[in-house]
Amino acid sequence: MGLVRYSRWASRLKTLNSQTKPLLSFSSSSSFSSATTADNENPGRPGPPPIRVALTESFGRGVFATRKIETGELIHTAKPVLSHPSLSTIHKVCYCCLRKLKTTDSSQAQRVSFCSDECQRQAKGFHDMEMRADWSAYDDYCRSRGLKYPLLVKRLACMVMSRAAFANLLDILQPASLSPEMIVEMEEGFGLLRSAFENSNITGEQMSFLTKQWYIGVLARIRINAFRIELVGALYDDLLSSLAASIESEAAVGNAVYMLPSFYNHDCDPNAHIIWIENADARLKALRDVDEGEELRICYIDASMDHDARQSFLSHGFGFQCNCHRCLTGD
């Protein structure tokens, strides 16, 4: 989710011009891709996504259109850098990409499954590492308190140990500010994670990154940057029905962290929208026509809530007071 919480405090951003220095530019990358002609949503416009991440005139980053973008257009896709199924769906979705499994084999109910050889191969490193430890105490800690984010930290730790990720993977993201109560709860989680690894045959050297500071720093970033993933299904791959479906869809299949989508700022009347069709690959779509240079924003919360509820959610969940046009007009 977005990072530039503080820009909400400033007056509405002026449209940035070409003098703004891009922080990231997009050519081709495995993590971000724009629509191709085969995609059918953006005919005749292959190439890098029509966006750039730039500093706003206040402090912080934002995502800006580099050309006119039409209503319904697929702006870009993004693969998660970190994802994990919900504990309630863990045996119903792919342990790697969160795609719903066609059949659930009850004899395998204690084990996780993958949707494809590709996902199994991709997950091999962290999954092998995870299988070496006993997670019952850690999972109980998450389940009894209704915590979902420590599962992402566990996966990241396993990815780092298997050299599938660097320990500083999420450092670029903004951390949440934490209350003393949150830190106490996180310290308990850290102790359980650390002892799960210590009780396995994993060496101290492999665990050297796994300090309390690392654990809390990762969790503080996940807390305001993770997206809750609700699959809308391929039937809904058009704008209006996907909006309806995302409101009606069943419980989240899991949570994931992305890089580029995390740079989008919040607006209670957003011009962009993020949807998931069949797995954790995110699709950013334009909700209305966007001009070149205009900032693209998504809504972090349920936009149908009233003004006071939105302010409360944003303040408690994300630590900022929203000054978007809709909030300023009291809607």
Pick the closer one to Zn ion by CB: 186 or 296: 296
The C-alpha atoms of residue 178 and residue 272 are separated, in whole angstroms, by 29
Pick the closer one to Zn ion by CB: 145 or 325: 325
Least spacing, CB of residue 114 vs Zn ion, in Å: 5
Pick the closer one to Zn ion by CB: 94 or 169: 94
Least spacing, CB of residue 92 vs Zn ion, in Å: 12
The C-alpha atoms of residue 132 and residue 130 are separated, in whole angstroms, by 5
The C-alpha atoms of residue 295 and residue 55 are separated, in whole angstroms, by 11
Spatial contact of 266 and 314, defined as CB atoms under 8 Å apart: yes
Least spacing, CB of residue 310 vs Zn ion, in Å: 6
Pick the closer one to Zn ion by CB: 97 or 222: 97
Pick the closer one to Zn ion by CB: 97 or 284: 97
SS3 state of residue 46 = coil
The C-alpha atoms of residue 62 and residue 264 are separated, in whole angstroms, by 6
Two structure tokens written together for 318:
């994300």
Give the Cβ contact number of residue 216 at 10 Å: 19
Least spacing, CB of residue 136 vs Zn ion, in Å: 25
Q: Which residues bind Zn ion (CB under 5 A)?
A: 94, 96-97, 99, 115, 119, 268, 322, 324, 327
Spatial contact of 254 and 287, defined as CB atoms under 8 Å apart: no
Produce one character per residue of 230-269: b if its CB has 16 or more CB atoms within 10 Å, e if not. bbbeeebbebeebbebbeebeebbbbbbbbbbbbbbbbbe
Pick the closer one to Zn ion by CB: 254 or 293: 254
Pick the closer one to Zn ion by CB: 99 or 154: 99
Least spacing, CB of residue 269 vs Zn ion, in Å: 7
The C-alpha atoms of residue 293 and residue 216 are separated, in whole angstroms, by 37
Least spacing, CB of residue 127 vs Zn ion, in Å: 12
Distances (CA, A) of 5 to 132, 195, 209: 40, 36, 29
Pick the closer one to Zn ion by CB: 193 or 268: 268
Pairing of strands 295-298, 265-266: parallel
The C-alpha atoms of residue 126 and residue 89 are separated, in whole angstroms, by 19
Least spacing, CB of residue 268 vs Zn ion, in Å: 3
Distances (CA, A) of 120 to 70, 95, 103, 321: 37, 8, 16, 42
Least spacing, CB of residue 83 vs Zn ion, in Å: 10
